[in-house]
Structure 1
Amino acid sequence: MISSAYLAFSQSFSQPFRSVLWKSLGITLLLLALIWAGSQAGLSHLLSMEDVLPGWAETVASILAGLGVVFGLWFLIVPVSAVVASLFLDDVSRVVETTHYPREEPGRDLPVAEAVAQALRFLGVVIGVNLLVLLMVPLLGLGFIIFFPANGYLLGREYFEQAALRFRNPEDVKALRKRHGAKIFLCGLVIACFIAVPILNLLTPLFATAFMVHVHKKLSGSTPTNIE
């Protein structure tokens, strides 16, 4: 597990991975800019309506609404970037497979409909992760107790299945995941630690995908080559 995490982390900064990162962040920023513009337009319309609020209350409401939009965008940047990046994860998987397992047949890219369904699943999981991050503040220590095991399971399951589905049918993937549940959970804890670090968490989809490609290959009996 440690060697797989090291390989994944070191490759997260390679040129092919940076290409995916910049593409996903570019699309993410565009989406957030559109959300910002739409939110501002909606708020301006509401606050400009006559006889809704007295002058001082309208000013306070405008400030609070602006802060709410900023906080909302801060909250959304990680889940939105993760969902956008999930559309490119086949590219990431292919790079890992051809770089470290060149003698083996690469996996199949997911069909468009399946990739979209996978992206929506990522959306639910990552939003859940970030909601738990918010709960960590008021719950203090209890939040940490909840955050890591819950997300170790969720993230480990999602990223492992994404890597394994390139080579196996869904039934075989679920059977393999159940057979190695404890190991996959521990790998998920590594990803949960990664996503808890600000700024670095933007790399989570790339790191987690590469990590689980190595984990799946190792569970399938493969050994990586071309290790620098």
Structure 2
Amino acid sequence: MFAMILGPVFAAIRQVMSPPLRRMVLRSLGLTIVLLIGLWGLLTKLLEWVLRTYPISRDYPLVDGFVYFLGGAGLVVLLVFLLPPVLAFVGGFFVDDAAAIVERTDFPHDRPGEPQTVMASVLYGLRFAGLALLLNLAALTLIFIPFVNIAAFFAVNTYLLGREYFEMAAARFRPAAEATALRRANRFRVMSAGAVLAGLMLVPVLNLLTPIFGIALMVHVHKRIAPGRAIAGPSP
């Protein structure tokens, strides 16, 4: 299954390292870091407010300090599970332009896809982020079960990242319903690409590359699945 996507994976790596996408990666990294810092600050303030309003022990402040330390560790874990929705939201601003670059440089003789409007891109990012938040918070309920927690995180993001990035790449050439049908007809190949992205999500720092790498990968997967139909353009 993974052998089918080795070509697209190496092509996506090459694209991410190319100057056009490298500049886009830097912009997406900047926005992601700003959002993560803001989210961390918000969660920290919330934890401080909870402990100040509902102290564990007024007579033993060290107990509250220990609880605050544990709470901080818990926030780190929570932030890991919140990273996919943050990246999904950020990706909504960049993936369409990134897809256009990949199509133009790697498939110059094919008809280019139809870009989304700015509003459609924002709505896509919000929808993707909402789904990622819901599914990853569901996976978070298994956090105290060793190995199962990582497996759940991996499975959830394999499905989510494979589905969303492929349909985004495919929807540039066909209606959304057709993009969904194409994904379902090639679910094993799409999910194997999703597994690559989910694996990337588990690697600190490199996981911040997921939005741009993900769309570059799925443009190549889509072109291999539907090379003839991929140049037909979207239906009116």
TM-score range, shorter chain: 0.7 to 0.9
- The TM-score normalised by the length of structure 2 is 0.77
1:109 to 107, 115, 119: 115
Answer yes or no: is the 8 Å Cα contact 1:93–1:213 preserved in 2.
Answer: yes
- Cα–Cα, structure 1 residues 43 and 105, in superposed 2: closer, same or farther, change >3 Å? same
Worse-superposed segment, 104-113 or 44-53: 44-53
Amino acid at match of 2:120: E
- Cα–Cα, structure 1 residues 38 and 150, in superposed 2: closer, same or farther, change >3 Å? closer
Instruction: Give me the whole-angstrom Cα distance separating, in 2, the residues matched to 1:51 and 1:76.
Output: 27
- Superposition RMSD on alpha carbons, in Å? 3.1
Amino acid at match of 1:167: F
Instruction: Confirm or deny that 1:184 pairs with 2:205.
Output: no
Structure 1 residue runs of 5 or longer lacking an equivalent are: 223-228
- Cα–Cα, structure 1 residues 146 and 191, in superposed 2: closer, same or farther, change >3 Å? same
Q: CA deviation at 1:26?
A: 1.4
Instruction: Give me the whole-angstrom Cα distance separating, in 2, the residues matched to 1:145 and 1:45.
Output: 33
Amino acid at match of 1:182: F
1:205 to 187, 201, 211: 211
- The TM-score normalised by the length of structure 1 is 0.79
SS of residue in 2 equivalent to 1:204: helix
Structure 2 residue runs of 5 or longer lacking an equivalent are: 229-236
Report percent identity of matched pairs: 36
State the partner residue of 1:91: 97
Amino acid at match of 2:21: F
Amino acid at match of 1:92: A
1:60 to 66, 80, 99: 66
State the partner residue of 1:3: 7
Answer yes or no: is the 8 Å Cα contact 1:152–1:188 preserved in 2.
Answer: yes
Worse-superposed segment, 100-109 or 60-69: 60-69
Worse-superposed segment, 162-171 or 189-198: 189-198
Count residues with an aligned counterpart. 221
Amino acid at match of 2:9: A
Instruction: Give me the whole-angstrom Cα distance separating, in 1, the residues matched to 2:107 and 2:100.
Output: 10
SS of residue in 2 equivalent to 1:12: helix
Amino acid at match of 2:145: P
